[in-house]
Structure 1
Amino acid sequence: MEFVVYILYSEKFDKTYVGFTTSLIERFKSHNELATKGFMIKFRPWKVVYLEFYNSKTEALNREKWLKTGNGRIFIKNLKSNNFF
């Protein structure tokens, strides 16, 4: 099974979101269409701006957690400032 760590971006609100999943398309649809409450619905529409693929859940979870740390936020900010998204 493959695990995907992803970064979503709401251009309208200049917000990012980090998550991981085994089914990116279904998860993305949930974030943009299906969810009826929570953080995600407030900042729609989202677009996928960054992906990383892992073979283990542990690796993906560790990377997701790192991206949510101060250093991870700097990494994301650098992606944005380099016009990656």
Structure 2
Amino acid sequence: MSRIKKISAIGTRGKAKGREFIAKPDSQNRFVLNKKKASTSKLNTNMAASKVYASTLDEAYRLLETDQYLINLVCPLGTRALRELAKVSVHY
């Protein structure tokens, strides 16, 4: 059973400013993370080849702790954001 109940962040700019972004499962009930890429990499961080899936928020958190991943978050308007561990709040 997952200990973590929610991973979230607050938008800081533009239309997203002040809105809460939350990690939500995809259509297959998995949380989506993206491998961080060096700026010299030919692969974009948000490409399918960079995606990694976690079955729970606890598993997603363990991946974020490695500092090699960003988690996909979404706000109620459907806007998406990628955030690293230092930029999210973890709720138990």
Q: TM-score, normalised by structure 1?
A: 0.31
Write 1 or 2 for the structure with the bigger share of helix: 1
Write 1 or 2 for the structure with the bigger share of strand: 2
